[in-house]
Amino acid sequence: MKIRTLMAAALVALAPVSAVADEAIIVQSTTSTANSGLYDYLLPIFTDKTGITVNVVAVGTGQAIKNAANCDGDVLLVHAKPAEEKFVADGGGTSRTDLMYNDFVIVGPAEDPAGVSGMTDVEAALTQIAESEALFASRGDDSGTHKKEKALWEAAGVDPAEGSGAWYRETGSGMGATLNAGIGMGAYVMTDRATWISFANKQEYGIVVEGDDDLFNQYGVIPINPEACPSVNVEAAQTFADWLVSAEGQEAIGAYMVDGQQLFFPNAPEQGS
Amino acid sequence: MFMRDLVFPDVVPRTETDLMPLELEGVRLCLDGKAVLDGVDLRLEGTGCTVIMGPNGAGKSQLLKLIHGLKAPDAGRIEWNGRAAAAVTARQALVFQKPVLLRRSVAANIEFVLKARGRDRGLRDGLLEHVGLLDKARQPARQLSGGEAQRLMLGRALATEPEVLLLDEPTASLDPASVLAIERIILRARERGVKVILVTHDTGQARRMADEVVFLHRGRILEHVPADEFFPEPATREARDYLNGRIVV
Amino acid sequence: MQDFGEAFALAFGLVLSPTGDLLEIVGLSLRVSLTATAVACLLGLPLGALLAVTRFRGRGAVLVTINALMGLPPVVVGLLVYLNLSRAGPLGFLGLLYTPTAMIIAQTILITPIVAALSRQILEDLNAEYAEQFRSLCLSRWQSVQALLWDGRYALLTVGLAGFGRAVAEVGAVMIVGGNIDHLTRVMTTAIALETSKGELALALALGIILMAIALGVNALVQSLRMSAERRNVYA
């Protein structure tokens, strides 16, 4: 008697929350985009217009691409152009389109132990940080941000891995977690501006390095290739990608503000014909 | 606590058993390196009440478990009319010295056995009435007094419809009223044809209940005689000393 | 330090006037963890009881294994379930990834060993008391198991609560297989992780306080059910 009630309850609760009347797609995206609050702002606009629910899985770029390769998503939206282009070339995605950009900045403690505050040459700043062995917290998780950071170290001719565990702290975590950890230990952190503006635990940190062209951060959107993944919701995925790069979607992206600042700058190529 | 089978059908049916005679030959049992039973030969026949007596440590409880089939002897043969003891355990019931009460109501304890044996659950109240516990049916069994608990054990034993009722010091440390009630339940079963094998160290109880007496000493049977030959004066010195209250080592 | 004060104030405010989102998240946490607990008990209790009454070669090794599985890291369980439920995996066709069902599955796998190992210990102790009597009554193994499960019900209730506590508190498994998707698979623990990563520490702590309060509530409810059953003195 008691067992049967339990089993019935279990079956009811286990029944998958299946086909809602509206359609739904899964977007594999990054923590930096999600944490900035962009999706909370953007997606309801899209859902109201099309009735398609967009479910965002926010993980590191590396994991997002892997998930997409496993066919666990309908759209990929990340910020690592070389990796994205490789993904499409390998047949994982239908095509890649520039979507929006912002920039990276380096934030640091008020004491500024490496003396880099106000510099606009990021490679020089990184070199100075390495030479003074000031603490630096890295994503260390193969994300878009991390890939950009590694490229910058390489351009500066510095191998931070030599200091790994000493002054170079690789957290292997998302942007927010890395910021929390970095600020907690008084380390410099490279972060995208959008995450920084919307981050609520800044304490006495501020932006110390910004404005270098090399800090440009480009986002791209990729519908997953149905040939590689038959389970993809092709039409809905394409509808979403199309809307994002459309005039309406681009305007919405540009309109998103936090503390009076715009976080993402739409730069999709003109749609037409 | 009165026997009343006016309201309920008789819960102990007339029993005829083909389990007798019980034969033990050369039975030995060692525990912790010591010989608890050291060459027991015994033959029990017919019905009635057989009382097994003897000083503590004589091996009485172990003997009961062996003939019930709960354990195997280290040597020797135990057979119920040719059947191995372990094969006929279900046709007997053993009332342990310390009551084993399920953590449920009194009534549920009886029902548990009736259900396990596939018997009619309607017999439950009759059995409770038979052992004088009907008014405590819904009480948690663990809250019963010692005497009540043993009566419940007896009720549970009778619920299995046993052909043989084995009892291991069922009234040890109980108050006289409980002793009386339990003895009457046992005698009632004997009247209905259930073979009773009772282990006791209470000589008064033995006098009251026994049809025959088996006297055990240091793992061996010293005497096996009808009750009127054992009481008031048994043949062996050890048994005499025991009855007279001397410590028999 | 001011985070704590702020957190308590926030928690208090949220409890008094909960947002729709908060109710959704709390509801999903309870649904996922309670279901997982129920299924884990359905699987683990009979298993524990069976292990308590049965002797077989290799029993010792099985016990050691089940006890060790109590320490399964949630993130590892999440990863294993993800690999199986992923579209690229053997059970991908079920389409269960990123659903509450996947979260229930992961948590069930996580806590079934706890239920089995703890119930085994409790029922083995109980069986020591009953074993001889059960043999005298010639009960079948299944009958013994049933008797032990019912007789041990109060102690086993605590085992269930232990399993629930582990499930409702873990974040590693549900994060990977659920994806922390807003309005779909976001539970208390993943919400706390999210708010922490957004630097919203006071809010994260407030959610943590609320989660603790819920766990307390569940335990209190179970305890009061026990006490009222004992008071009514009716044991079925």
Chain C contacts to A (CB-CB under 8 A): 31, 34-35, 38-39, 41-42, 86-89, 92, 95-101, 104, 179-182, 184, 194, 196-201
Q: Do B139 and C129 touch (CB under 8 A)?
A: no
Task: Name the 3-class secondary structure at A215.
Answer: helix
- The two structure tokens encoding residue C142: 């299944």
**Average pLDDT value for residue range C50-54:** 92
Q: Is residue C234 part of a domain?
A: no
One-letter amino acid identity for C209?
I
- The two structure tokens encoding residue C78: 């999440």
Cα→Cα distances B190→B4, B195, C45, Å: 17, 6, 43
pLDDT digits 0-9 by tens, A193-231: 989 998 998 999 999 999 989 999 999 999 999 999 999
- Interacting residues of B96 by C-beta distance below 8 A, sequence separation 6+: B153, B168, C132, C133, C136
Task: Name the 3-class secondary structure at A91.
Answer: coil
- Which one, of A73, A56, A31, lies nearest residue A173 by Cα? A31
Q: Is residue C38 part of a domain?
A: yes
Cα→Cα distances C72→A203, B52, C110, C127, C175, Å: 37, 56, 7, 28, 16
**Average pLDDT value for residue range C103-121:** 96
Beta bridge partners of B225: B213
Higher pLDDT, B5 or C138: C138
Phi, psi of B184, deg, nearest 5: -65, -35
Q: What is the pLDDT of residue A19?
A: 43
Q: Is residue C11 part of a domain?
A: no
CA C235 to chain CA centroid, Å, is 26
Q: What is the pLDDT of residue B9?
A: 58
H-helix segments, chain A: 2-14, 31-35, 38-50, 61-69, 81-89, 122-131, 144-156, 175-185, 193-198, 234-245, 247-255
CA distance C182 to C190: 10
CA distance B175 to C57: 47
Cα→Cα distances B244→B48, B209, B212, B241, Å: 26, 19, 19, 5
The full length of chain C comes to 236
- Which one, of A56, A52, A53, lies nearest residue A68 by Cα? A56
Q: What percentage of chain A exceeds 90 in pLDDT?
A: 73
Tell me whether chains B and A touch (3+ CB pairs under 8 A): no
A8 and A68: one domain? yes
CATH assignment of B39-100+162-243? Answer: 3.40.50.300
Cα separation of the two ends of chain B: 39
DSSP B30: E
Of the pLDDT bands very low, low, confident and very high (cuts 50, 70, 90), residue C19 is: confident
- Interacting residues of B57 by C-beta distance below 8 A, sequence separation 6+: none
- The two structure tokens encoding residue A245: 């790069």
A203 near A184, Cβ under 8 Å? no
Q: Is residue C14 part of a domain?
A: no
Give the residues of chain B that fall short of pLDDT 70: 1-10, 58
CA distance A241 to A50: 12
Q: Using alpha carbons only, how large is chain C's radius of gyration in Å?
A: 20
We report the CATH number of the domain holding residue C114 as 1.10.3720.10
Which residue in A23, A41, A46, A201 has the most chain C C-beta atoms within 10 A of its own C-beta, making it the best mutation to test that interface?
A201
Residue with tokens 């309908």: A74
H-helix segments, B11-145: 60-68, 106-116, 123-130
Closest residue on chain B to C149 (Cα) = B103
The domain ranges of chain B are 39-100+162-243
- The two structure tokens encoding residue C56: 């077989």
Query: Out of C42, C86, C99, whose CB is closest to A10?
Result: C42
C135 CB neighbours in chain B (<8 A) are 70, 89
The C-alpha torsion from A232 through A235 and A236 to A238, rounded to 10°, is: 100
Which residue in A71, A141, A225, A259 has the most chain C C-beta atoms within 10 A of its own C-beta, making it the best mutation to test that interface?
A71
A30 and A108: one domain? no
Closest residue on chain B to C155 (Cα) = B103
**Average pLDDT value for residue range C57-83:** 95
**Average pLDDT value for residue range C37-54:** 95
Q: What is the pLDDT of residue A18?
A: 45
C101 CB neighbours in chain A (<8 A) are 14-17
- Which one, of B69, B50, B82, B63, lies nearest residue B213 by Cα? B50
The full length of chain A comes to 273
Number of separate domains in chain A: 2
Q: Is residue A30 part of a domain?
A: yes
What is the domain extent for residue A32? 2-101+218-266
A97 near A243, Cβ under 8 Å? no
A182 and A209: one domain? yes
One-letter amino acid identity for C121?
Q
CA distance A55 to A37: 14
Q: Is residue A239 part of a domain?
A: yes
Q: What is the pLDDT of residue C67?
A: 94
Q: Nearest CA to CA, how far is C172 from chain A (Å)?
A: 13
- Which one, of B163, B161, B205, lies nearest residue B184 by Cα? B205
CB pairs under 8 A between A and C: 95
What is the domain extent for residue C168? 21-221
Residue with tokens 């579209």: C87
Phi, psi of A164, deg, nearest 5: -60, 130
Ramachandran area for residue C223 (φ above 0: left; ψ -120 to 50: alpha; else beta): alpha
- The two structure tokens encoding residue B227: 């009750």
Cα separation of the two ends of chain A: 67
CA A231 to chain CA centroid, Å, is 25
Q: What is the pLDDT of residue A5?
A: 64
CA distance C130 to B2: 30
Q: What is the pLDDT of residue A17?
A: 47
Closest residue on chain C to B165 (Cα) = C136
Asked if residue C79 has pLDDT above 60, the reply is yes
Chain C contacts to B (CB-CB under 8 A): 129-130, 132-133, 135-139, 143, 147, 150-152, 233-236
CB pairs under 8 A between B and C: 46
At how many degrees (to 10) do helices C201-232 and C2-16 cross?
60
One-letter amino acid identity for A263?
L
CA distance A88 to A17: 32
A6 CB neighbours in chain C (<8 A) are 38, 41-42
B210 near B28, Cβ under 8 Å? no
H-helix segments, B7-145: 60-68, 106-116, 123-130
A136 and A59: one domain? no
- Which one, of A116, A118, A140, lies nearest residue A129 by Cα? A116
A32 near A61, Cβ under 8 Å? no
Q: Is residue A210 part of a domain?
A: yes
Number of separate domains in chain C: 1
A91 and A225: one domain? yes
pTM over 0.90: no
- Interacting residues of C226 by C-beta distance below 8 A, sequence separation 6+: C154, C157
A66 and A118: one domain? no
Q: Is residue C123 part of a domain?
A: yes
A110 and A210: one domain? yes
Asked if residue A10 has pLDDT above 60, the reply is no
Q: Is residue C206 part of a domain?
A: yes
CA distance C198 to A36: 8
Q: Is residue A33 part of a domain?
A: yes
pLDDT digits 0-9 by tens, C173-222: 999 999 999 889 999 999 999 998 888 888 899 999 999 999 999 889 88
We report the CATH number of the domain holding residue A88 as 3.40.190.10
CA distance B136 to C1: 61
CB atoms closer than 10 angstroms to residue A98: 15
Of the pLDDT bands very low, low, confident and very high (cuts 50, 70, 90), residue A21 is: very low
Q: Do B116 and C150 touch (CB under 8 A)?
A: no
pLDDT digits 0-9 by tens, A146-179: 999 999 999 999 999 888 888 999 998 888 899 9
Q: Is residue A271 part of a domain?
A: no
